[in-house]
Amino acid sequence: MTQPAPLKRAPEGFLTPEQIEDVKAGRRRFLRGALAAASAAAAGAALAEPKGGDPHIVQLPEHSMALGQAVAARGYGQPSKYETNLQRRESPGLTRVRQASVSFCPLQGLFGIITPSGLHFERHHQGWWDIDPSKHRLMVNGSDPKMLERPMVFTMDELMRLPSVSRIHFIECGANTGMEWGNVAVPTVQYTHGMLSCCEFTGVPLRTVLEMCGADFKRGKFVLAEGGDGSSMTRTIPMELVMSGEVLLAYGQNGEMLRPENGYPLRLVVPGVQGVSWVKYLRRIELGDQPYATKDEVMHYVDLMPDGTHRQYTSIQECKSVVTTPSGGQVLLDKGYYNVTGLAWSGRGKIVKVDVSFDGGRNWASARLQTPVLSKCLTRFNIDWAWDGKPAIVQSRATDETGYVQPTYAQLRAVRGRRSIYHNNAIQSWLVEESGEVKNVQLS
Ligand SMILES: Nc1nc2c(c(=O)[nH]1)N[C@H]1C(S)=C(S)[C@@H](COP(=O)(O)O)O[C@H]1N2
Ligand SMILES: [Mo]
């Protein structure tokens, strides 16, 4: 048996005396002159080369020895060049034109619960705009003159003077996972569940603005929200949600102004409700006494039931979860320990439990819920797994504070059939093959 070579480490630390001399020489060179940064980098590069081929000699890399880049080179910070694979992606052939399309959020590559603004999924019906905030207006009116004493038109500056709140909420398109109603359709969690994002939104409670306008809260039972893009996106919001103070006229997203793709400069935030009601480029709010039955509530965003009828106004996103690692398209390199992680959410409140199965639903164990666990917000869960290298089917099943448990495909299809588009919150299954490859599967 050969003994492992002793680690050659100088008593002063991780440098050999020879390397320390090199560092000093490099510093002298660096201090000497006008081309300081360039020469220091060169010195660093030289030192990073292995010496004498002995891998146990600790070599300082260039980035520990030389000056980095100047601050001004990066006005608005960008991700590392090594992270360029983490992108929103379009599902090829999903829509006829790219202006009425979706880009999916790369859930498999995110940590915690916050979606970076540049990776927030996008859903546009008529393309996105970068609207001049100094020209944008929000009109607030009543369906008849008595509904609201003082109809008003607000500039962005006027809205941004009002008392504001910041809250973290998920937004999920009602069509998320919609391609999977019939059978497995897409390979990765980005495409199965990526019409989902979660940000800190900042804005003025809609209730505050309605109060300023002298709204008649006895007669006013619904509001209509209308967008300023070509889609004329209009949605009815029930007053209970508005009166709770949760519905926001939002201009902030993750600490800065909304991104153009996400409705800059003003969007409605309707926690727990499907994405379509989070009207972007918001230009008008009307208070009324009945639902508006707009095109986006009659022709679209209705649930086709097995008997051929359509279910309307099913706006709340029911409790749902998904394992993001391991998930479709990933490869486990070897058997042994894995931190299995995923996301759970409910449009009705907080997540109280997430169970995970590794054998297709025969046995379940409770995952650790990571704090914060917030209402109508993504909750991150983690659970330990020692993979024995045999085929496994990984699933997660969430329960929310109302006691509702996420259904299996069999349970969901018994009620909803297989031909719907919206509101598929079934338990997702990932097959881990012996090779370590992970595939999207459905258990019948
Ligand atoms: N004005 C306007 N608002 C809109 C839409 C739109 O096309 N126009 N799309 C809706 C739909 S269907 C969804 S799922 C969400 C998507 O929001 P996001 O693009 O910020 O992810 O915005 C909603 N609000
Ligand atoms: Mo949507």
- Give the rounded distance of the alpha carbon of 119 from its chain centre: 7
Clarify whether residues 411 and 340 are in a common domain. yes
Torsion of CA 300, 302, 305, 311, to 10 degrees: -150
Q: Say how many domains are in the chain.
A: 2
Q: How confident is the model at residue 37 (pLDDT cuts 50, 70, 90)?
A: very low
Single residue among 292, 311, 330 that ends a domain in this structure: 311
Clarify whether residues 213 and 361 are in a common domain. no
- Asked if the structure places residue 359 within a domain, the reply is yes
Single residue among 311, 335, 361 that ends a domain in this structure: 311
pLDDT single digits (tens) 138-185: 999 999 999 999 999 999 999 999 999 999 999 999 999 999 999 999
Q: How confident is the model at residue 44 (pLDDT cuts 50, 70, 90)?
A: very low
174-197 average pLDDT score = 97
Clarify whether residues 174 and 285 are in a common domain. yes
- Give the rounded distance of the alpha carbon of 419 from its chain centre: 27
Clarify whether residues 420 and 271 are in a common domain. no
Beta-sheet strand order (sheet of 368-369): 320-325, 336-345, 379-387, 368-369
- Asked if the structure places residue 231 within a domain, the reply is yes
What pLDDT, on the 0 to 100 scale, is given for residue 272?
A: 98
What pLDDT, on the 0 to 100 scale, is given for residue 96?
A: 84
Clarify whether residues 130 and 194 are in a common domain. yes
268 within ligand 1 shell (Cβ under 6 A): no
- Asked if the structure places residue 195 within a domain, the reply is yes
Q: Hunting for tokens 């070599």 — which residue is that?
A: 59
Count of CB atoms situated within 10 Å of the CB of 391:
12
Nearest-CA residue for ligand 1 atom 11 is 276
Q: Which ligand is nearest to the CA of 127?
A: 1
Single residue among 311, 338, 365 that ends a domain in this structure: 311
Which pair of tokens denotes residue 49?
A: 């080369």
Nearest-CA residue for ligand 1 atom 15 is 275
Determine phi and psi for 291, rounding to 5 degrees. Answer: -60, 150
CA of 174 to the centre of ligand 1 (A): 11
54-78 average pLDDT score = 80
303 within ligand 1 shell (Cβ under 6 A): no
What pLDDT, on the 0 to 100 scale, is given for residue 32?
A: 41
Enter the pTM of the model. Answer: 0.87
262-277 average pLDDT score = 98
Clarify whether residues 108 and 182 are in a common domain. yes
Clarify whether residues 127 and 232 are in a common domain. yes
- Asked if the structure places residue 287 within a domain, the reply is yes
Q: Residues whose CB is under 5 A from ligand 2 (ion)?
A: 123, 173, 275-276
Clarify whether residues 143 and 245 are in a common domain. yes
Clarify whether residues 271 and 389 are in a common domain. no
Clarify whether residues 261 and 400 are in a common domain. no
- Asked if the structure places residue 25 within a domain, the reply is no
Q: Which numbered atom of ligand 1 lies nearest the CA of 122?
A: 19
- Asked whether the bond before 265 is cis by omega within 30 degrees of 0, the reply is yes
- Separation of alpha carbons 103 and 140, rounded Å: 32
pLDDT single digits (tens) 356-383: 999 999 999 999 999 999 999 999 999 9
Using a pLDDT cut of 70, give the percent of the chain over it. 87
CA of 316 to the centre of ligand 2 (A): 13
Q: Which numbered atom of ligand 1 lies nearest the CA of 282?
A: 1
Q: How confident is the model at residue 228 (pLDDT cuts 50, 70, 90)?
A: very high
- Asked if the structure places residue 59 within a domain, the reply is no
Poorest-pLDDT segment among 50-64, 240-254, 256-270: 50-64
342-362 average pLDDT score = 98
Please, which residues have CB within 8 angstroms of residue 116's CB and are 6 or more apart in sequence?
Answer: 110, 254
Report the amino acid identity of residue 303: D
Which pair of tokens denotes residue 374?
A: 């917030």
284 within ligand 1 shell (Cβ under 6 A): no
Name the residue of 278, 282, 315 to mutate for ligand 1: max ligand atoms within 8 A of Cβ: 278
Nearest-CA residue for ligand 1 atom 2 is 280
* Contact status, residue 379 vs residue 369, Cβ threshold 8 Å: yes
231 within ligand 1 shell (Cβ under 6 A): yes
Clarify whether residues 237 and 291 are in a common domain. yes
What pLDDT, on the 0 to 100 scale, is given for residue 17?
A: 53
221-227 average pLDDT score = 98
What pLDDT, on the 0 to 100 scale, is given for residue 69?
A: 79
Which pair of tokens denotes residue 213?
A: 């306008």
- Asked if the structure places residue 325 within a domain, the reply is yes
Domain holding 226: CATH number? 3.90.420.10
- Asked if the structure places residue 337 within a domain, the reply is yes
- Separation of alpha carbons 213 and 4, rounded Å: 79
Clarify whether residues 229 and 207 are in a common domain. yes
Which pair of tokens denotes residue 438?
A: 């992970």
CA of 200 to the centre of ligand 2 (A): 19
Poorest-pLDDT segment among 81-95, 217-231, 317-331, 332-346: 81-95
Mean pLDDT across the chain, nearest whole number? 89
Per the structure, the complete domain to which residue 434 belongs is given by 320-441
Poorest-pLDDT segment among 12-21, 184-193, 239-248, 351-360: 12-21
pLDDT tops 70 at residue 286: yes
Which phi-psi region, left, alpha or beta, contains residue 349 (left: φ > 0; alpha: ψ -120 to 50)?
left
Domain holding 327: CATH number? 2.60.40.650
